[in-house]
């Protein structure tokens, strides 16, 4: 029997890191086994489901490269797969039919209890220190009693008989699990009085009808699994194999949440995490490859993935490691690919500076290309490109006199050095020879002649032309800036420093 597994997000929030990992493990497992990866949208929580969230989920999966074999129609693309529809709100008739079958077999029954009765039951249970459960008032009504209630116009919910037993299953991650159904709250409502289905029922009906062989999902669903197993049995369906993935934890080992961590995939994407890194990092967040290697592409993960190396203990989300991995994957992009991915980040950054009232010139294609070797190895996230190189495109950079003066120097030495450096560049290096290799020797010689540490001189120049203390390598930076701008900025920085009160050190 070929593997069929599904990712079944509820569009009640944006696609988050935990959801991505669940989708990824399902995808990897399906691909590795030559099976099908199915996307099912669980949108029956009408009050909280939103089209924007569904779009965010679909876009996110698509961006990551987790293409599904079967799933709903999206943005004009036709639905795929023979088990549709793949949105639960389009499957209401199927749930009703399934409930009918259960009612016919007396595996479910109509329940007429009023909210007041259920409330009173709950209070009595609380007082008696019992866990909340349905008392079974309507479980044994005769046909006549039911008719009488119908005649009164009472609308019934449908309850599924849960019974008393220990449900056992072998989870691929958690091992043998046994749960006593008496802890599960009694007979389970599967349809509300308006005929709309409840969550556990839709999951079981869909997994059965879509012939799902492996249910791979978050640990928070572990305790619901016995309910699903009972429903599978009642529906006459095969029971799938389960794999419950470990929780993702904040560094303080609490469950990862929006409050403490950034959870939305789109936020990582906007920061300039690349898909290769997110896929790689999340694959290893709870699964081990069994080797020392750390960097894997999606196809390599497919080759190696197996559910039996998924850990059962919580996996701590380590942003620093993700950033490190992101830097690694950014470096591995081809020049073209890097350029294509980095440019929008730079453009957005420059637009923000323009909106902030600064004069910005538009980067030219050739300039951007020249920047690649200078920055590709230096970015933990693509969005860092803005701060790293915007000084090249700002008409004026703000230079802090305090920063211009290196620690071991005073204002006078700095002024002298900037003027001397400007002289060297103006007199010794022509526009044609304005290359990093040509710039370095004369400036080193200057430092030597005057008895300055080359590092101090270079820092003063760096701050003078960029306004920053950290930039790509100095001489490449000067080349990128061009001879005229370099001279002009050295000039301006000298003026700034000369006009400033002597900084107190
Ligand atoms: N719709 C559920 C969720 O978003 C997933 C249910 C399942 O995987 O069984 O948490």
Q: Can you name the CATH fold of 4-88+249-319? A: Rossmann fold (3.40.50)
Q: Measured in angstroms, how far is the CA atom of residue 251 from the centroid of ligand 1?
A: 25
The secondary structure of residue 85, as a DSSP letter, is -
Q: Measured in angstroms, how far is the CA atom of residue 225 from the centroid of ligand 1?
A: 11
SS3 (DSSP) at 108: strand
Position in ligand 1 atom list of the atom nearest CA 9 = 4
**Among candidate residues 321, 374, 320, 326, the one with its CA nearest the CA of residue 346:** 374
Question: Which residues line ligand 1 at a C-beta cut-off of 6 Å?
Answer: 8-10, 42, 203, 217, 221
Position in ligand 1 atom list of the atom nearest CA 207 = 9
Q: Is the C-alpha dihedral spanning 484, 486, 489, 495 positive or negative?
A: negative
- pLDDT computed for residue 505 by the predictor: 46
Is-same-fold flag (91-245; 401-501)? no
Q: Is 163 left (phi over 0), alpha (psi -120 to 50) or beta?
A: left
Q: Tell which one of 5, 6, 7, 10 to mutate to probe ligand 1, the residue whose CB is within 8 A of the most ligand atoms.
A: 10
**Among candidate residues 307, 255, 269, 303, the one with its CA nearest the CA of residue 286:** 307
pLDDT in tens for each of the 505 residues of the chain?
Answer: 799 999 999 999 999 999 999 999 999 999 999 999 999 999 999 999 999 999 999 999 999 999 999 999 987 788 999 999 999 999 999 999 999 999 999 999 999 999 999 999 999 999 999 999 999 999 999 999 999 999 999 999 999 999 999 999 999 999 999 999 999 999 999 999 999 999 999 999 999 999 999 999 999 999 999 999 999 999 999 999 999 999 999 989 999 988 888 999 999 999 999 999 999 999 999 999 999 999 999 999 999 999 999 999 999 999 999 999 999 999 999 999 999 999 999 999 999 999 999 999 999 999 999 999 999 999 999 999 999 999 999 999 999 999 999 999 999 999 999 999 999 999 998 888 899 999 999 999 999 999 999 999 999 999 999 999 989 999 999 999 999 999 999 999 999 999 886 555 4
Q: Which of 258, 260, 407, 453 is catalytic?
A: 258
Query: Contact at 8 Å (CB) between 141 and 278?
Result: no
Q: Measured in angstroms, how far is the CA atom of residue 40 from the centroid of ligand 1?
A: 9
Position in ligand 1 atom list of the atom nearest CA 7 = 8
Q: Can you name the CATH fold of 91-245? A: Rossmann fold (3.40.50)
- 386: tokens are 């803005």
- In Å, how far from its chain's centre is CA 81? 27
Query: Contact at 8 Å (CB) between 367 and 404?
Result: no
**If you take atom 6 of ligand 1, which residue's CA is the nearest one?**
8
- Which residues does residue 218 pair with via DSSP β-bridges, in sequence order? 245
Distance CA 174, CA 159 (A): 30
SS3 (DSSP) at 147: helix
Position in ligand 1 atom list of the atom nearest CA 12 = 4
Residue-level length of the chain: 505
Position in ligand 1 atom list of the atom nearest CA 220 = 10
- pLDDT computed for residue 6 by the predictor: 98
Q: Measured in angstroms, how far is the CA atom of residue 221 from the centroid of ligand 1?
A: 8
**Domain coordinates of the chain in residue numbers?**
4-88+249-319, 91-245, 333-392, 401-501
Q: Measured in angstroms, how far is the CA atom of residue 132 from the centroid of ligand 1?
A: 24
Q: Measured in angstroms, how far is the CA atom of residue 203 from the centroid of ligand 1?
A: 8
According to CATH, what is the number of the domain 401-501?
Answer: 1.10.10.350
Q: Tell which one of 6, 203, 214 to mutate to probe ligand 1, the residue whose CB is within 8 A of the most ligand atoms.
A: 203
The secondary structure of residue 46, as a DSSP letter, is T
Distance CA 306, CA 124 (A): 48
- Active-site residue, 260 included: no
**Among candidate residues 70, 85, 87, the one with its CA nearest the CA of residue 11:** 87
Q: Tell which one of 18, 205, 208, 221 to mutate to probe ligand 1, the residue whose CB is within 8 A of the most ligand atoms.
A: 221
């Amino acid at each position: 029997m070929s593997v069929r597994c599904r990712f079944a997000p509820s569009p009640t929030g944006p696609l988050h890191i935990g959801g991505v990992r669940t989708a990824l493990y399902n995808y990897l497992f399906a691909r590795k086994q030559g099976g099908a990866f199915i996307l099912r949208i669980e949108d029956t929580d009408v009050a909280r489901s939103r089209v924007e969230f569904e779009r965010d989920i679909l876009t996110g999966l698509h961006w990551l490269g987790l293409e599904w074999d079967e799933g709903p129609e999206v943005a004009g693309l036709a639905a795929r797969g023979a088990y549709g529809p793949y949105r639960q709100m389009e499957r209401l008739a199927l749930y009703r039919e399934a409930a009918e079958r259960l009612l016919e077999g007396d595996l479910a029954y109509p329940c007429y209890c009023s909210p007041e009765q259920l409330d009173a039951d709950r209070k009595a249970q609380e007082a008696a220190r019992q866990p909340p459960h349905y008392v079974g008032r309507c479980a044994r009504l005769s046909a006549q009693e039911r008719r009488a209630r119908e005649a009164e116009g009472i609308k019934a919910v449908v309850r599924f008989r849960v019974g008393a037993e220990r449900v056992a299953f072998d989870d691929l991650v958690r091992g043998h699990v046994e749960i006593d159904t008496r802890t599960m709250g009694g007979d389970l409502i599967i349809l509300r009085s308006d005929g709309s289905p409840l969550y556990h029922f839709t999951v079981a009906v869909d997994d059965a009808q879509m012939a799902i062989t492996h249910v791979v999902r978050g640990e928070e669903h572990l305790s619901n699994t016995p309910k699903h197993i009972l429903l599978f049995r009642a529906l006459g369906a095969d029971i799938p194999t389960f794999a419950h993935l470990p929780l993702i934890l904040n560094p303080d080992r609490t469950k990862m949440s929006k409050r403490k961590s950034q959870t939305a995939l789109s936020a990582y994407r906007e920061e300039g995490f690349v898909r290769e890194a997110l896929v790689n990092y999340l694959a290893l967040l709870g699964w081990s490859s069994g080797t020392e290697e750390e960097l894997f592409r999606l196809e390599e993960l497919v080759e190696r993935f197996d559910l039996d190396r998924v850990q059962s203990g919580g996996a701590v989300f380590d942003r620093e490691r993700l950033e490190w991995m992101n830097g690694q994957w950014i470096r591995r992009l081809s020049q073209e690919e890097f350029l294509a991915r980095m440019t929008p980040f730079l453009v957005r950054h420059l637009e923000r500076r323009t909106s902030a009232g600064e004069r910005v010139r538009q980067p030219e294609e050739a300039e951007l290309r020249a920047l690649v070797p200078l920055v590709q190895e230096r970015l933990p996230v693509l969005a860092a490109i803005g701060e790293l190189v915007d000084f090249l495109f700002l008409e004026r950079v703000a230079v802090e006199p305090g920063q211009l003066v290196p620690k071991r120097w005073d204002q006078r030495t700095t002024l002298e050095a900037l003027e001397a450096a400007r002289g060297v560049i103006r007199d010794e290096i022509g526009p044609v020879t304005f290359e990093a290799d040509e710039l370095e020797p004369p400036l080193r010689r200057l430092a030597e002649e005057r008895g300055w540490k080359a590092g101090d001189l270079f820092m003063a120049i760096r701050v003078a032309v960029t306004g920053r203390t950290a930039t790509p390598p100095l001489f490449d930076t000067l080349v990128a800036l061009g001879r005229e701008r370099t001279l002009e900025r050295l000039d301006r920085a000298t003026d700034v420093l000369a006009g400033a009160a002597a900084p107190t050190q």
